[in-house]
Chain A
Amino acid sequence: MNDFDLVRKNLFRRKLRAILMIVSILVAFMIFGVLAGFYRAFNAGEDRAAADRMMVVNKINFTQPLPIAYYNRVRAVEGVRQVTHANWFGGYYQDPKNIIISLAIEPASYFDIYRSEVDLAPEALQAFVRDRGSAVIGESLAAKHGWKVGDRVPLQSNIFSQKSGGHTWDFTIAGIVKGKAEHVDTNFLLFQYNYFDETRSFGKDTIGWLILQTTAPENNDRVAKTIDAMFANSSAETSTDTEKAFGKAFAAQFGNIALIVTLVVGAAFVTILMIVGNTMALSIRERTREIGVLKTLGFSGPRILGMVLGESILLALLGGLPGLAAAALIAIALRNSLANVAPAFSVSSEIVLQGIGLMLALGLITGLIPAVNAMRLKIAAALGRG
């Protein structure tokens, strides 16, 4: 029998107590895994935004339109490699609650700017450009509704109406857009701006925002200043910022998600720390005599210290690892329903590493005082007690 066997046997000497502790730790790490995964996914756009991509929006607010003429004027600015534009359509399918993220775009430049994230087969892009009334959809949207190339999809807008009356646009699916990495959200529909601009009853010749790529991230500041100065004092002033800063500011509008996540995870951990810490102390106190016997047999103080700490760390790992596994399963189960808020919601390897670090910390903190007490225990006092 080596020390590890002894640690294991000690931990499970009171089976029910050990199982209760494990459940309690499991819950804490499940909460940690789910919330950390959600927080990361929620901020994914901000973290992964390309450094050389910028957004040009109306200075009043990004929901205010810009003139389409800005597209060509920004294209001519030095340091700009590519520009594209987009307009929010406010689309829904059948029921107003069934919102579909849908944008009116300029196909060639749009797919060029986002080439590192999404992939549309060249034939599909050609078919999309050729048929003005067509649309391309992301693979997760296609999977959600079972739509395939060639299907006709009637999309209604909660904002725009057709010149002919009515709020419905019929689109033929020309292609499916694939994400190039797991974190890319493909829950969207894109259709041609030219067709949109001709058919809508108001807002002609305006766009929602511009997306541009600079020749190098070092040029970002200069490009932003040039563009904003170019449109200063016009009827539509602009505000140009990196996609990352824009995403960050938008996420912040929902409230302080980071603070809420930290508070809840903190509350869960304080709870578990107290329960496990007290139980460890109790369980070592109950074994005072035994520790005295081990010392009599020649077990050194540090070795006893190691065994007690080993027991509390083993407990933390036995609860924590299944807790993270449970969190990963929950993330998979919720991934589709949270696709709009937190795309690619998952418990990443980084979170698992953080979790393991927390487990070790939990084991050390809860085991430390009982372990030190056990190490310092005098044999005579230990054997005399109880």
Chain B
Amino acid sequence: MGSLWRQVAAVTSINLRSISQRRWLSLSTVIAIALVVVVLLAFLAMANGFQRTIAGAGADDIAIVLRAGSQAEINSTVSRDQVRLIEDGPGIARGPDGKPLISPELYLVVDGVKRSTKTKANLPLRGIGEQGANLRKGIAITEGRMFGGGANEIVVGKSLLREFEGLDLGSTVSFGTTRWTVVGVFDAGGSVFESEIWADLPVVQSLFNRNNIFQTVRVRLTGPAALNELKSYSDNDPRLKLDVKSEATYFAEQASQTSDLIQKLGWPLAIAMAFGALAGALNTMYSSVAARATEIATLRAIGFGGFPAFVGTLVESLLLAAIGGLLGAAATYLIFDGITASTLGGNFTQVVFDFKLSPALIAEGVLLALLVGLIGGLFPAIRAARLPIVSGLYAN
């Protein structure tokens, strides 16, 4: 047995040292596989970044109340009477003053101008109640201050500020005939809230002619388990019949549509390209076997088995694929990781997100590369193992 492994090691090392003789062909295979991995990982990093931005915003102990069937905040409407009924509902946490911790909100779409393309894009303007900021995790004003009650003042999310122009601290913005002053910038740990503009609810209601109209209600629950209490309270009151969801569930639903779509584009493209690269890998490895036909036949003639020739070829192919895969992952990391993009989200407004690679995604990319290397090496390796000795010796 020991001698077999020594043979395998010897043949493999001959294989690997001969790569330099086919450097251009081998290099083209490595780069081809690397490009496949770059395309796949760029799409997966985009889907992952989008998913993290949205799904990362949701908490389990916050409930969001929407009109039944509305799916997204932008479509929902909730009346003042319904807001009052929810305030009295069960399972709602109360502040030190005994008031329920809830925030009725209005979600409007306004135009902004994208810095990169100078084109108009939909931005969300959210009128929030007094408790609005406290009902979201990790909100911190990083510059300026919070908007004052009853004033035409807005605070702007950090990501939004980065991607859209005219919203800098201290500037005046007009939405239609109404004028607003940017008094603060807030951080929300990179979540979707950072793509929003916030203002005082009654001011937004009155300036946008939506007095007494609300779209959603956010509620702090006494605990995640209280969600069902609130749900059945809403289901059993014919005046309510609203959708009550945990914020985590709501955002997970919102994220899945777009990130699924991105993944559904990325995988078929990468697989199609992988077939192209596979043809290249097979070609390289068949050339490798053909170039070493005399050598392999000589080794067989002096007593080496077919198995070492098989392993040697396969290892060469897997090594080229692994280099390609890692090169692709490294290139994706350098080029795409952390770049900012924005697209229309489930609420019909721009969501600003970063491309985000993760170790699991890199593993998927390298695995695809190794699969190409495995298939691309397998058939040539079988040929190497079965090479007839006599004709091999006369190959040249």
**A interface, CB within 8 angstroms of B:** 16-17, 20-21, 23-24, 27-28, 30-31, 58-61, 63-64, 90, 92, 96, 156, 158-159, 161, 167, 202, 233-237, 248-249, 252-256, 263-264, 267-268, 270-272, 274-275, 277-279, 281-282
Contact = CB atoms under 8 A, between A and B. Distances in A.
B275 A23 contact: yes
A27 B272 contact: yes
Interface stretch (B24-32, B131-139, B186-194, B227-235): B24-32
Contacts of A278: 24-25, 28
Interface in B246-279: 269, 272-273, 275-277, 279
A20 to B, nearest CB: 4
Given A20-B283, A27-B276, A61-B111, A158 B69 contact: yes
Given A96-B71, A270-B35, A271-B277, A64 B177 contact: no
Given A20-B282, A63-B108, A278-B28, 7 more contacts: A24-B277, A60-B175, A96-B71, A253-B350, A267-B39, A267-B273, A271-B280
Interface in B36-55: 36, 38-39, 42
B111 A158 contact: no
Contacts of B393: none
B82 interface: no
B207 to A, nearest CB: 10
A20 B28 contact: no
Contacts, number: 139
B279 to A, nearest CB: 4
B343 A253 contact: yes
Given A60-B111, A264-B269, A275 B276 contact: yes
**6 closest cross-chain pairs (CB), A and B:** A275-B280, A24-B279, A274-B28, A27-B276, A20-B279, A271-B32
B236 interface: no
Given A64-B109, A267-B38, A279-B25, A30 B272 contact: yes
B79 to A, nearest CB: 9
Contacts of A167: 68-69
B282 A254 contact: no
B344 interface: yes
A274 B273 CA distance: 14
A205 to B, nearest CB: 12
A318 to B, nearest CB: 13
B122 A253 contact: yes
Most buried by A among B120, B279, B280: B279
